[in-house]
Structure 1
Amino acid sequence: MEAILQSLGIMESNQEEKDKNNENNNIMKELDNGSQMLVSNFYPQCPEPNLTLGMHPHSDYGFLTLLLQDEVEGLQIQFKDKWVTVQPIPNAFVVNVGDHLEIYSNGKYKSVLHRVLVNEARSRVSVATLYSLPFNCTVKPSPKLIDEANPKRYMDTDFGSFLAYVSTRETKKKDFLESRKLIHT
């Protein structure tokens, strides 16, 4: 996260500047005390993979997701309106940007729309760990990324808003994130 904050130009690399910058210290402390969810997925082989998805298209709710997948293809991301297969690399993590990071970065980082396909010949296993702020925190665009040229693009949100949203509808694609947008581009 420090590298991400530096790439956004809102965190200095030296400790003296870090100490002066309460907002960045707060977000890092909140992430240190944040939520972490571990999700294990097993996708059995499917004789007719064209009839089902392993997981429907969605983006992840939190800041970052680290995914460890076996050698079986299945994860796809949407890139330029096309589905692209993420080739598994042994002993490597796939890192996905989540909705919270898109909101916090005021749209500079984009959450990843992804899905999982099942395989006709082989079962697939993946383990995802999702990182975010504590459930009682509010996620909002960093004030350092908002100005006249870059107005606030997302409304503040929290876990309660997310739960209320998902309990009233089936979430698909990036629906929750879209519901938080103030500016549609």
Structure 2
Amino acid sequence: MDLLSNTSAPLASVPAEYVFPPEKRASLLGDLSSDDVSLPLIDLHSGALSDEILRRQVATEIVKAGKEFGFFQVVNHGVGEDVVRAFREAATKFFEMPPEDKLTYWSDDQSKPFRIASKTPWDRNKNRYWRDYLKLICYPIDEELVQHWPSKPEAFRSSLADYSVALHELSQNLLELIAEGLGLDRGFFGGDLSRGNTQMNVNYYPPCPDPSLTMGLLPHCDRNLLTVLSQGDVAGLQVRHNGRWLLVNPLPGVFVVNFGHQIEIVTNGALASVEHRVFTNSAKARLSLATLVHPTMDCLVGPAPVMVSEENPTKFREFVFSEFYKTFDAAAGNREDVLESFKIHRG
């Protein structure tokens, strides 16, 4: 098992397998949008949006931000800071454990409900990302699922359960607001579209001796419905915006939210899944928690009839989500290659 987190002292140089070709590296100069461009920050008023006028205002803000960026940030979201902090601390301690304690969970088998790995299944190049990650199913929670989670560190299981329940509630609230902002029924994204196993990627990016040579993650879009990210206090996420890369600076108490391919397809392109990437830094380790809401594997996905019109004809064919899941891996996560398999071409 070769994990970056197994190294107690910072590496003096970047090993050859982590060095990317120049055309794949993140340029930190001249490739970023100006500092006055940032993702919209939307106040969810602690989830207490019973006032219909206020609710419509928030829903409109979310969809407007989503249409421009494919991403937005939320504050006063109702998830307790103690809940976030407790799981972030437990996850950090997991990566700090001795190699032998992590070896039990090492696997490239995607069917496992909990595993630690260092390569994505759709990574086809010889280079390795500068990250280790936990891939786990985190919701719905039952006793059998919890038994697959590690018993060490001691607080891992309980803090993950609390965090997962809170993130499920937040994601469902967000999906209702997105539906309302589009003029759809509040429960539009409910049912099989969001009832698949919720997954979490706990990403660990240790300090890198030369960030100009490697990447935490190459540009990609998410194959799921919705992603909710806890960045922590270390920058690393970049979002493609108007042909350039926008740095998403971490803000206290904030979650970053982005649309996956399934929202783009179901809304017939009204909302888009936008490319993003992760760079590394030499000073600090970075830990991010990405919670990914999925359809069920047998969910039939396609543009909703209410999102199709004479001016906006059907852009995508119908498919079962399990087909998309496999196509995403085969296309190595490339946005255009993935969507090409599902687009409808006319004349």
Q: Indicate whether 1:60 and 2:234 are aligned.
A: no
Judged with a 3 Å threshold, the aligned counterparts in structure 2 of structure 1 residues 122 and 79 are, in CA distance, closer, same or farther, namely same
CA–CA separation in structure 2 for the residues paired with 1:100 and 1:28? 13
Aligned to 1:146: 308
Corresponding pairs, count: 172
Aligned to 2:182: 8
* C-alpha displacement of 1:31: 4.2
CA–CA separation in structure 1 for the residues paired with 2:329 and 2:255? 31
Aligned to 2:320: 158
Aligned to 1:80: 242
Aligned to 1:45: 207
**Unpaired segments ≥5 residues, structure 1:** 19-23
Equivalent of 2:265 in 96, 103, 106 = 103
CA–CA separation in structure 1 for the residues paired with 2:204 and 2:345? 38
Indicate the larger mover: 92-101 or 166-175: 166-175
**Unpaired segments ≥5 residues, structure 2:** 1-174
CA–CA separation in structure 1 for the residues paired with 2:285 and 2:339? 31
Normalising by structure 2, we get a TM-score of: 0.47
Indicate the larger mover: 125-134 or 162-171: 162-171
Instruction: Write the letter of the residue equivalent to 1:69.
Output: Q
CA–CA separation in structure 1 for the residues paired with 2:336 and 2:219? 8
* C-alpha displacement of 1:128: 0.4
Instruction: Write the letter of the residue equivalent to 1:88.
Output: P
* C-alpha displacement of 1:170: 2.4
Could you list the per-position Cα deviations for residues 72-128 of structure 1 after superposition, in whole angstroms to 9, with x for gaps in the alignment?
A: 110000000101110111221100111000001110111121000011211110000
Contact 1:35 1:135 in 2 (8 A): no
Indicate the larger mover: 121-130 or 30-39: 30-39
CA–CA separation in structure 1 for the residues paired with 2:191 and 2:253? 29
Q: Indicate whether 1:115 and 2:277 are aligned.
A: yes
Judged with a 3 Å threshold, the aligned counterparts in structure 2 of structure 1 residues 166 and 144 are, in CA distance, closer, same or farther, namely closer
The percentage of counterpart residues that share the same residue type is 38
Judged with a 3 Å threshold, the aligned counterparts in structure 2 of structure 1 residues 149 and 33 are, in CA distance, closer, same or farther, namely same
Query: Which secondary structure does the structure 2 equivalent of 1:42 belong to?
Result: strand
Judged with a 3 Å threshold, the aligned counterparts in structure 2 of structure 1 residues 131 and 4 are, in CA distance, closer, same or farther, namely same
Contact 1:63 1:97 in 2 (8 A): yes
Aligned to 1:21: none
Instruction: Write the letter of the residue equivalent to 2:344.
Output: L
CA–CA separation in structure 1 for the residues paired with 2:196 and 2:330? 26
CA–CA separation in structure 2 for the residues paired with 1:5 and 1:68? 23
Instruction: Write the letter of the residue equivalent to 2:207.
Output: Q
RCO comparison, higher one (Cα < 8 Å, 6+) = 1
Aligned to 2:255: 93
Contact 1:66 1:130 in 2 (8 A): yes
Query: Which secondary structure does the structure 1 equivalent of 2:264 belong to?
Result: helix
Judged with a 3 Å threshold, the aligned counterparts in structure 2 of structure 1 residues 175 and 88 are, in CA distance, closer, same or farther, namely farther
Query: Which secondary structure does the structure 1 equivalent of 2:334 belong to?
Result: coil
* C-alpha displacement of 1:9: 1.6
* C-alpha displacement of 1:167: 4.4
- Tell me which structure has the larger Cα radius of gyration: 2
Alignment RMSD: 2.0
* C-alpha displacement of 1:34: 2.6
CA–CA separation in structure 2 for the residues paired with 1:41 and 1:113? 18
CA–CA separation in structure 2 for the residues paired with 1:167 and 1:34? 18
Contact 2:263 2:271 in 1 (8 A): yes
Instruction: Write the letter of the residue equivalent to 2:287.
Output: V
Question: Which structure carries more strand by proportion?
Answer: 1
Query: Which secondary structure does the structure 2 equivalent of 1:180 belong to?
Result: coil
Question: Which structure carries more helix by proportion?
Answer: 2
